[in-house]
Structure 1
Amino acid sequence: SGPLNAMADSFNLPLRPILEKNDRPDTLPVEIAQINNQWGSFRDVNEEVLRNKIAEEKDKDELDEDSESEDVTDLDSTERLEQLYKRRADITQFAMQAHMETMFALDFVSLLLSKQAPRQAETSMSAFLKQVAPLGSLNAEVVNPPPKPESTAKDISAVSRGWRIQNFNGAANKLLQSATRLESEVASETRYWNEVLAVKNKGWKVSRLPRERQALGVQYGFLEATPVFRDRGLASLRRAEDGGLLLDKGLIPSKARYVRVRVVQDGRISGYSKPIHPTLNGEDTIEGRILQARDTVFEEELYHELVREARAIASFGVTTRQNLIQIPASDDLEILLDMVDVDGNNLQPDQGISQQGNSLAEGLAHTIRILLAYAHRQNLQRRTLLPPPLVTKKRSVPEHQLLRPALAYIQHMSHVRWLKSLLNDLFAVLRSANLNPQGYTAEIFSTGQGQNSHAPTVEALVENFLTPFESTFKGELLAPKGSFSISIRTNLSLPPHGTNFDVSFDMPKYLDLKSPGRLSHKDEVEAAITHLLLIDVVFAISNEPFKTNPENPEKQLWQAIYPQHGELLLSSDSLKRKKMKIAFSRHELSLEIYTVRCIDGTGRGQFEKSSHDSSPRVWKPLTTSPLSLMDYVRATTLT
């Protein structure tokens, strides 16, 4: 009994229903009615009556609590347990009664429905009902209502007719509105698809957007471009309210931009490039917008690749800033590249702009764009080949050659013009002395054709432009069967970078002389060529016999004792000997004869002084002299 008593003391089962509080408070009239029912009129209610009522309720509650406490204390645990079992039985009986009533209602509804749908109603009928009552034994019919008066029938008919007329009018209006809307939609769709078809007929690629399959897009970018710019080359074709095409260009700026090339000559701007495609001139067509977007994304990719290459060739003196690339092309020539708006070129034509500078800037602008298009073509060819084997190390993407070929061309032409000027000056000096050299021949860009003979003509031309540039100068010397050759080779793509001069000559009669070979600096080249022609002049004089005495028919030769210094010695039996010294440069040719003593022909004498009966002679280009070099040597030899 102990555990049962403990369970009875700790187990409390609420049997009363839970009172739900009304969320909405009663209105004032309801509360006034309740007060009138409970207390009567407000006139009979005062403070004393309320206090007495409150005191009576309080005493009554205390008595109830005392009686309940006495009852609780009087009841022992056995009586409480019996009371609990009794209440549980009451709850169970109530639940069973509710269940039976529910089943009776379900059987009634199922039997009623078995007349119309026997199969569905049979599933919900009890077994007892199936035995005592066959299916369809209970039916329900609509009882005809009593006849309505004629006035009521007329009112109902009039109201029904009005409703029908109103519904018909509403349906007609909706059909007209739908027809109008459908007509406008058809017109908009027709215009939209006509413009899409026109874009496709122009050659643009139209397809669905990758991430938005229900929308169309146009591919105006280049599929072989850098991945960043390749993904930006696809724009969606949206439909406006009137059916026109709206080009959603995404990250493309609203204004057209291009890479501007400026040429700085001697510290001032001498030329600049103009945009390839000008603005639309007010023609805001869909094709114009697509072309503008294509050109802008191409120019942005071009400038991006130019910056990458400029950083790679920083050793050539190329510098990059936020929006500027400075390239020292030659000694007095500098190239500036920047990204500007199409309508943002504010340079005036009277600010020292020259036709030559504009031609150079335009040529360089076209060159870098052609080279970028060629790089796209090379990417396409590489994609069509078999992929290389997989490696753990990621392969680096090399920079496109855009600036290096153009710079190599400019530098090569600068060196070619310099060498032409040097040879013209040197041969002009020799002609002024009436030596009559044979001159030289120049073969500019003597590089052979590309190895890929199956490539198209345009690609073959660009491939030749990417190869190292080479030019050759050849000429004959004054010495018998003597010749010289100068090759200029410029390469900025592969080491060794820069321009090299290969100077060589052939003098069969003087085999001890060696060619200087490959040189890199202009000063060295000028010194080597000048020295070569000086030696040639010395040997030309040494091969010519001269009379030392008019009465003596014998002739003597000037011996080249120091040809590298331009010194010759006239052989004689006396102690006094004549020595000739020749100085040669691109500006003049000078000749001076000395009288020397105590010289053995191989070393310098102890005493050298100028002859009193001779004076130095100078020949300069663009000047006419009545006395040639050989006549002057012949005249001084006889004296």
Structure 2
Amino acid sequence: MADSFSLPLRPIRKKTEDSDTLPIRIAQINAQRGSFRDVTEESLSNEIEALRVSGKEASDIGEPAEAGDDADDKEQQLFTSRSEMLEFATQAQVEACYALDFVSLALSKYAPRQVELSMTPYIKFKIPTGSLGIDKIKTPEHTEADKKDIAIVSKGWKLESFSSAANNLLEAATRLQKEVAAETKYWSEVLAIKEKGWKICRLPRERQTLGVQHGFLEAASVFRDRGLGALRRGDDGSLYVDHGMNASPLQVVRIRVREGGEIVGVSQPACVKHAHDTSAQETYIHQARDSLFEEELFYELNREARALLRHGVETRHNQILFHVNESQQVLVDMIPVDETATHDLEAGSAGFPANDLAHAIACSIRILLTHAHRKNRRRRTQIPAAISVRKRPTIEYPLLQPSITYLQHRSHMQWLLSFLHNITNTLLSAGLKCKYWANPPSSKDRLGTPANQDKNILLVESLVDSFLNVQEAAVSGDFLSPNSRYKIRVRTDLDPTALGTEFNTWTSLPSFPQQQIIQRFGTRDDIQEFLIYLFTLDLVHTIPLLGGTRTISSLPNMLPGDAEPGPSDPTAGLVTAPTTASKTAIWEPTFSEHGELIAHAPGKSRNKKLRVVLSGESLVLHCVSTNHAEDEEVEESSYTWSVNQTDDDSRLTLQETLKQIEGSD
């Protein structure tokens, strides 16, 4: 047992923080013992003795001793309590002085000399004595008549209060009814707009306000943000669209065609015909949408025009200019839709010959901008590309480029077909057989082929995509000699990095194998000169074979991509070929590229020389006689065949002319 140790069974009492402050203690003492005047040392001693006798000293008084407070804590607590007691005593003294000053000022009217001793100097200096007084007033007794009058007045005031309250309630009910009617009208108009298909949403910066999305979500950021108008309510509940600072006058893109310095065509503004039941607000939304679309259209046209400067597109004075052909020029500008502009546009539709061209260009650029929006939406719904540090460039929409490409390609094709028509008719007027035809587009270029058409792309989008492609066309034809062919492919590409229009030629001339190569030309003059050169070479090679003729039926060699001539061609399969050479003269080409031939007639002192001059509209044959001895040239005759030669003209053919030349001395 000696080695055993004792364990305390009582729990360790933690020191509790005394949260009671001195004011609380004073209030408790006042509540328990009354005033401090009743608390004396003798009463406290008696109370402590009573507590010691009752055994409460160990639990109440001994516990602080067991708490383990050291002397420093007690001293600090003592000083803190002393400072708090002094603070409250000072406050009590100040309040007592205030009360003494008030009583002294109140009594200064009756005994000024006596109360001056108890007043503070501040009160003496600031407030004159006798300014505050005290009177004892006895309330008069009311008679029965007064009481009756008071009751009647009180009743009247109550009735008036009730009447005022009833009027206020009625006014509130009327105002509430008007508010309900205005809200009903406002929301009915909002629902009517929503039922028309417009998107209704909250404004980003005013969450309590509704807005209508009349713009295009796939447009540029500056136009996408302006495409949201606030739907605000008027005083009578009517709805009006508020565009704020983004409101701008209605504008429209105008297309004009100028020829010879005069306007020959004006496009009509894109207007939407509304139904009779269309509200004014919906009409205003339509106008705001159209105006915003026109502004974006002109903005994108200017961006694209700056990239097409190398192809002849110009921008000047807020206007875009480009050439359709040698004589016509297209002007694109933007004008406000007012009475003057409307009058000009209506006057332009009075009978200008190029109105259809201007309207077609206006429709095409609007369709292409809508198509670009649709492509942006499809691109946005797909899986995005990988994140890259390099910023993605904003590519210009192809709006003007497809229209200019098509118009220039059509102009080049019309010129080429007109040139081939003239030169073919010129040769036909001379009795020579040749023809040309336009090849239909290949199957891979046709619309709707399964290889090129995506199942997710609509047919109308495929049609627009085909308009965005490079414009190509091919023309094939026969030369004069058998088995000689040519093919011309016209390709127009106005991409910013492309070269414009190219003419690619394939020729098959058995008499001139060196010419059977692919040639590329960039201008009309070059291809015209080259074709005249080829026809001249072939004509010079054909003239020696025209002594005697026979008609044979043969199908010339086909070039890749050519179409067989149809049964409607009047000259299909007809080729003129010689049977025997001339017995009087033998024509031999000397300078084929210059169209010169010479004939050596046996037994004669003179030789004859022919010079063939071929152009797009005429064929001229010069006959020259040369003397062997004197070596001089004398022009005997000249024969001309033109494209305007009629059928009833009694002019000789080339074969008859050669026979006449050969038979003459």
Using structure 1 for the length normalisation, give the TM-score. 0.71
Spell out, residue by residue over 1:19-41, the C-alpha distance to the aligned partner (whole angstroms, 9 max, x if none): xxxxxxxxxxxxxxxxxxxxxxx
Aligned-partner Cα distance in 2 for 1:487–1:410: 17
Aligned-partner Cα distance in 2 for 1:553–1:370: 66
Match of 1:636 in 2: 661
Aligned-partner Cα distance in 2 for 1:532–1:207: 70
Aligned-partner Cα distance in 2 for 1:196–1:384: 29
Of the three residues 626, 629, 638, the one matched with 1:616 is 638
Contact kept, 8 Å, 2:586 with 2:601, in 1: the verdict is: no
Q: Please say if 1:300 is aligned against 2:295.
A: yes
Moved more, 151-160 or 233-242: 151-160
Q: Tell me by how many angstroms 1:385 deviates.
A: 2.2
Match of 1:523 in 2: 525
Match of 1:361 in 2: 358
Describe the SS at the equivalent of 1:545.
Answer: coil
Match of 1:461 in 2: 463
Contact kept, 8 Å, 1:591 with 1:616, in 2: the verdict is: yes
Q: Tell me by how many angstroms 1:228 deviates.
A: 0.4
Match of 1:326 in 2: 321
C-alpha change, 1:101 and 1:253, in structure 2 (3 Å) is closer
Aligned-partner Cα distance in 2 for 1:503–1:383: 43
Spell out, residue by residue over 1:257-279, the C-alpha distance to the aligned partner (whole angstroms, 9 max, x if none): 10011111121111111211179
Match of 1:189 in 2: 183
Q: Tell me by how many angstroms 1:168 deviates.
A: 1.2
Which AA in structure 1 matches 2:593?
Answer: Q
Describe the SS at the equivalent of 1:627.
Answer: coil
Match of 1:480 in 2: 482
Of the three residues 372, 377, 387, the one matched with 1:390 is 387
Match of 2:230 in 1: 236
C-alpha change, 1:327 and 1:531, in structure 2 (3 Å) is same
Match of 1:217 in 2: 211
Which AA in structure 2 matches 1:610?
Answer: V
Q: Tell me by how many angstroms 1:513 deviates.
A: 2.5
Describe the SS at the equivalent of 1:615.
Answer: strand
Match of 2:167 in 1: 173
Provide structure 1 residue ranges, at least 5 long, that are not aligned to the other structure: 1-90, 106-144, 599-604
1:95-244 aligned within 5 A = 95=89, 98=92, 149-244=143-238
Contact kept, 8 Å, 1:256 with 1:279, in 2: the verdict is: no
Q: Tell me by how many angstroms 1:163 deviates.
A: 1.5
Match of 2:7 in 1: none
Aligned-partner Cα distance in 1 for 2:185–2:91: 75
Match of 1:45 in 2: none
Moved more, 403-412 or 585-594: 585-594
Match of 2:259 in 1: 265
C-alpha change, 1:234 and 1:593, in structure 2 (3 Å) is same
Moved more, 586-595 or 229-238: 586-595
Which AA in structure 1 matches 2:626?
Answer: V
1:70-89 aligned within 5 A = none
Contact kept, 8 Å, 1:546 with 1:557, in 2: the verdict is: no
Contact kept, 8 Å, 2:311 with 2:494, in 1: the verdict is: no
Aligned-partner Cα distance in 2 for 1:507–1:93: 127
Contact kept, 8 Å, 2:254 with 2:333, in 1: the verdict is: yes
Spell out, residue by residue over 1:533-579, the C-alpha distance to the aligned partner (whole angstroms, 9 max, x if none): 222222222223359xxxx9957642223221112232445564322
Aligned-partner Cα distance in 2 for 1:577–1:533: 25
Describe the SS at the equivalent of 1:336.
Answer: strand
1:417-496 aligned within 5 A = 417-441=414-438, 443=440, 448-449=445-446, 451-454=452-455, 455-493=457-495, 495-496=497-498
Match of 1:11 in 2: none
Contact kept, 8 Å, 1:270 with 1:353, in 2: the verdict is: no
Contact kept, 8 Å, 1:487 with 1:501, in 2: the verdict is: yes
Of the three residues 276, 296, 305, the one matched with 2:270 is 276
Describe the SS at the equivalent of 2:373.
Answer: helix
Moved more, 232-241 or 318-327: 318-327
Contact kept, 8 Å, 1:319 with 1:326, in 2: the verdict is: yes
Aligned-partner Cα distance in 2 for 1:302–1:521: 32
Q: Tell me by how many angstroms 1:378 deviates.
A: 1.4
Describe the SS at the equivalent of 2:503.
Answer: strand
Aligned-partner Cα distance in 2 for 1:100–1:498: 103
Which AA in structure 2 matches 1:286?
Answer: Q
Contact kept, 8 Å, 1:482 with 1:506, in 2: the verdict is: yes
Describe the SS at the equivalent of 1:581.
Answer: strand
C-alpha change, 1:558 and 1:218, in structure 2 (3 Å) is same
Describe the SS at the equivalent of 1:526.
Answer: helix
Q: Please say if 1:309 is aligned against 2:304.
A: yes
Match of 2:398 in 1: 401
Spell out, residue by residue over 1:229-276, the C-alpha distance to the aligned partner (whole angstroms, 9 max, x if none): 000000000000111111002344453210011111121111111211
Moved more, 406-415 or 449-458: 449-458
Aligned-partner Cα distance in 2 for 1:208–1:148: 68
Q: Tell me by how many angstroms 1:638 deviates.
A: 2.1
Q: Please say if 1:567 is aligned against 2:567.
A: no
Aligned-partner Cα distance in 2 for 1:464–1:286: 39
Match of 1:44 in 2: none
Q: Please say if 1:508 is aligned against 2:502.
A: no
Aligned-partner Cα distance in 2 for 1:382–1:581: 65
Match of 1:14 in 2: none
C-alpha change, 1:536 and 1:625, in structure 2 (3 Å) is farther
Spell out, residue by residue over 1:179-204, the C-alpha distance to the aligned partner (whole angstroms, 9 max, x if none): 11111111111100000000000000
Aligned-partner Cα distance in 1 for 2:145–2:285: 75
Describe the SS at the equivalent of 1:518.
Answer: strand
Describe the SS at the equivalent of 1:347.
Answer: helix
Aligned-partner Cα distance in 2 for 1:217–1:349: 35
Spell out, residue by residue over 1:297-341, the C-alpha distance to the aligned partner (whole angstroms, 9 max, x if none): 100111111111111222223222342222233322211111111
Match of 2:625 in 1: 595
Aligned-partner Cα distance in 2 for 1:539–1:436: 14
Moved more, 272-281 or 293-302: 272-281
Q: Tell me by how many angstroms 1:416 deviates.
A: 1.2
Aligned-partner Cα distance in 1 for 2:641–2:443: 35
Aligned-partner Cα distance in 2 for 1:446–1:314: 34
Identical aligned residues as a percent: 38
Moved more, 568-577 or 192-201: 568-577
Match of 1:245 in 2: 239
Spell out, residue by residue over 1:192-232, the C-alpha distance to the aligned partner (whole angstroms, 9 max, x if none): 00000000000000011111011000000000000000000
Aligned-partner Cα distance in 1 for 2:395–2:259: 32
Which AA in structure 1 matches 2:599?
Answer: L
Q: Tell me by how many angstroms 1:150 deviates.
A: 3.5
Describe the SS at the equivalent of 2:445.
Answer: coil
1:548-559 aligned within 5 A = 554=583, 557-559=586-588
C-alpha change, 1:269 and 1:445, in structure 2 (3 Å) is farther
Aligned-partner Cα distance in 2 for 1:523–1:97: 115
Q: Tell me by how many angstroms 1:398 deviates.
A: 1.1
C-alpha change, 1:446 and 1:499, in structure 2 (3 Å) is farther
Describe the SS at the equivalent of 2:616.
Answer: coil
Aligned-partner Cα distance in 1 for 2:207–2:219: 24
Using structure 2 for the length normalisation, give the TM-score. 0.69
Describe the SS at the equivalent of 1:207.
Answer: strand
Aligned-partner Cα distance in 2 for 1:626–1:508: 31
C-alpha change, 1:350 and 1:186, in structure 2 (3 Å) is closer
Contact kept, 8 Å, 1:588 with 1:618, in 2: the verdict is: yes
Which AA in structure 2 matches 1:523?
Answer: D
